[in-house]
Amino acid sequence: MSITIKTPEEIAKMRVAGRLAGEVLDYIGPFVKPGVTTGELDRLCHDYMVNVQGCVPAPLNYAPPGYAPYPKSICTSINHVVCHGVPGEKALKKGDIVNLDITTIKEGYHGDTSRMFLLGEPSILAKRLCKVTLECLWLGIAQVRPGARLGDIGHTVQHHAERNGFSVVKEFCGHGIGSHFHEEPQVLHYGKAGTGPVLEPGMIFTIEPMINAGKAAISELPDGWTIITRDRSLSAQWEHTILVTETGHEVLTLSAGAPPRPVFGA
């Protein structure tokens, strides 16, 4: 499958879907506190997407080849869970870090974003990991412009993560997105600058680095979805959906409650 260049009409629909995905994270934020279960967060997000926004939660019953259908409407990845944590009866506690991953479908188009939430007073390492991972995301976004290459994003993310003593998960990556949840290209969070496809206006893809405090190795739990760090070290992830514009880029999943772009060197 080749990389699709979105039409102005498609871009307009992607802006709506992206904004709505970000707004789900704004809505759920006040509920992410010690004692709440991930299943309750899933229920709240599902009801908000369906009943308030008129969206379809893209993860619900999503079944890529070789996978059983995903049973919930969001992903909730706590502490050493890298990604695709399945909501359930587990209650959050003080000191936890958790990633909530939201994908909405509105008028046939997808918006995909995720955000870290820190409960109570996490460890210094946990706070630093979340901060550096957010920086990795925005440093990757800063590479997006016409004429740049896809490898510039991964190279920048990997360099910043590793210079801070962290590791990059290589088995999962960002992806093109539009009328399909996952499209070309694959957006690696590691690699060489100056390699890969040339970025063109109208491309839309996610950048979603998964950064581990320990080693990069991962394992899959028996549920067939949940991915954890093999050494049980903490993992963090942030995600935005990005449009390549004529002059640079536009972040489609920004919302009022999204953490701002980090100020580097501060």
In a domain, 256, yes or no: no
Contact indicator for 151, 193 with CB cutoff of 8 Å = yes
User: Locate tokens 């993310």: which residue?
Assistant: 157
Instruction: Give the helix ranges, DSSP H, for 144-257.
Output: 150-163
pLDDT digits (tens, 9 = 90+) for 124-133: 999 999 999 9
Contact indicator for 226, 233 with CB cutoff of 8 Å = no
Domain that holds residue 101: 8-251
Distance CA 197, CA 180 (A): 20
Give the residue from 87, 64, 62, 83 showing the smallest Cα distance to 74. 87
**Banded pLDDT at 265 (limits 50, 70, 90):** low
In a domain, 93, yes or no: yes
In a domain, 19, yes or no: yes
For the chain, the domain total comes to 1
Mean pLDDT in residue range 233-255: 98
Give the residue from 33, 64, 34, 32 showing the smallest Cα distance to 45. 32
Tell me the residue type at 102.
Answer: I
User: Locate tokens 């050494």: which residue?
Assistant: 231
In a domain, 178, yes or no: yes
In a domain, 262, yes or no: no
In a domain, 242, yes or no: yes
pTM above 0.85, yes or no: yes
Contact indicator for 113, 207 with CB cutoff of 8 Å = no
Residue 187 sits in a domain whose CATH number is: 3.90.230.10
Tally the residues of the chain: 266
Greatest distance between any 2 Cα atoms in the chain: 48
What local confidence, expressed as pLDDT, does residue 1 receive? 59
Distance CA 176, CA 3 (A): 7
Mean pLDDT in residue range 217-242: 98
Q: Which secondary structure element, helix H or strand E, spans residue 36, and what is its range?
A: none
Tell me the residue type at 59.
Answer: P
